[in-house]
Amino acid sequence: MGNSIYKPARGFTILELILVMVLITIIALVTIPKIISPTKISAIVAAEQAAADIRAVQNAAMYQGVPRTITFNGNSYTAEGLTFEDKNLPGGAAANYTVTFNTFGEPDQGGSFFVSCGGDSRRVNIEALTGKVSITLN
């Protein structure tokens, strides 16, 4: 009659689970800012803005039937034919390049330029014949 079978409970206590969650949170708070830096994000956003406005100037040249130019000079640039012609690149990014599109949307020159912010940069490429704009990492 004294043969009761006792099985100890298996699993983690609530204290152990909370401790693990706290450690994971601390590790995440320390490592995530190092992986995604604000200058990296600023360089990406500035390159995307530059590419979008280059495309807009190209479209304005075709639509209005007049050659249009976009000039990047440091952290500001001028885009002919757009509502707001004088703009600044976000996040203190900088670039130096000039391209003119004819009435068919063809650039006067193909090539690429860098949009730099802090220690990070992105390359904005413009195809010589088509004016296609793309962004690459360095």
**pLDDT of residue 132 exceeding 90:** yes
For the chain, the straight-line distance linking the first and the last C-alpha, in angstroms and rounded, comes to 80
Residue 68: how many CB atoms within 10 A of its CB?
23
Say what the pLDDT of residue 3 is: 64
In 75-132 the beta strands, taken as DSSP E runs, fall at 76-79, 86-88, 95-101, 111-117, 120-126
Q: Could you tell me which residue, 67 or 6, shows the higher pLDDT?
A: 67
pLDDT at 133: 94
Listing DSSP states for 58-79 in one string gives HHHHHHHTS-EEEEEEETEEEE
Query: Looking at the domain 38-136, which fold is it?
Result: minor pseudopilin epsh fold (3.55.40)
Provide the edge-to-edge strand list for the sheet that holds 95-101: 86-88, 76-79, 68-74, 95-101
| pLDDT tens track for 75-122 | 889 988 887 778 888 888 888 999 999 999 999 988 999 998 888 889
Nearest to 67 by CA among 98, 89, 35, 43: 98
Q: Name the residue ranges covered by the structural domains of the chain.
A: 38-136
